[in-house]
Amino acid sequence: MSKPRQILIADDDPHIREVVRFALENAGFNTVQAADGRETIKQFMSERPDLVILDIVMPEMDGTEVCRKIRANSSTPIIFLSSRDEEVDRIIGLELGGDDYVTKPFSPRELVARVKAVLRRGENLEPATGANEKRFDSQKLLRSGDLELDLDRFEARWVSEPVALTITEFGILRTLLTYPGKVFTRDELMNSAYNYENIVTDRTIDSHIRRIRRKFSAMRADPIETVHGLGYRLGSCSKASE
C-alpha cells in the first residue's frame, strides 16, 4: 500500500485549518498545519509535504512571500486561499508560481477535488503518445532542438541546463512539445493542465505562459510562440546565436 500524501495547511484561522484538515483526512491524506508564514516555512522544510494549501493573508509573513521562498528551490504544488475574489489577486498568485487558487468561503469537497487534481498532474503528466515522443535509455523523454522534458523524473532542460517548472508549467510545455506545430487554444492548454471542471480565465493561462518564458529568458530562449487571435504553439527550440 502506498504511503498517503501529506498536505501542509497554512492559515491563521484555526477554524479553517480544522475544516480543511477534516476534509483532507477523510479523503485519505495526512496533514500538517501552520498558523503563520514563518511557521509555514519551518513546517515545509521539516515535513517536505506533497502539496501546500496557502492562505494569502497571514501574520509574520504573508502567503505571497512564503510562495516566493518555496519557489526559490522547490516545485511543490501550491494552492492559494484568499478571502478576496479580485482577479488581480488570482493573477498575482499564479504569477508567483501557484498552481491553483480557491476563494473563501469555499466548499471543502471542492477544495479536496482541487488537491487531488493538482496532484494528478504530477502523476499523470504523460499524454496520449504524440509523434515527438520517443524512448531513450528506458526513460520517457520529449525533445525538440535544445529543449528536453524528462517525464519520468519531471525535469526540464535547455541545452542540458535544468529549468525549474511547476507542475502546471511542466504540463503546458509537455502538451506543446508532444504535438509540435499544432496551435492550442487557451482552453485546450488549460484542459491538459487542469483535468477537472473549473472556470479558468484567459489571463490565467497567459500568467503561466509568462512565467515559463521568464524562466527560459535567462538562457536567451523562448520555447513558446504566440499565434495572435488563436493561442500558442511550440516555438523555436534552438539556442539563439550570440
List, for residues 53-80, the tens digit of each pLDDT value.
999 889 999 888 999 899 888 888 999 9
Scan for cell 477544495, then name that residue.
111
In degrees and rounded to multiples of 5, residue 78 shows phi and psi of: -130, 130
Name residue 107's amino acid.
Answer: S
Q: Hey, what domains does the chain have and what are their CATH numbers? A: 6-123 (3.40.50.2300), 133-234 (1.10.10.10)
List, for residues 12-45, the tens digit of each pLDDT value.
999 999 999 999 999 999 999 999 999 999 999 9
Which secondary-structure segment (H or E) carries 141? strand 139-144
pLDDT-derived band at 52, boundaries 50, 70, 90 = very high
Question: What's this model's pTM, rounded to 2 decimal places?
Answer: 0.63
DSSP character string of 36-57: SHHHHHHHHHHH--SEEEEESS
pLDDT(10) > 50: yes
List, for residues 108-154, the tens digit of each pLDDT value.
998 999 899 888 876 654 443 444 443 333 347 888 888 988 887 77
Specify the pLDDT at position 112. Answer: 93
Specify the pLDDT at position 57. Answer: 87
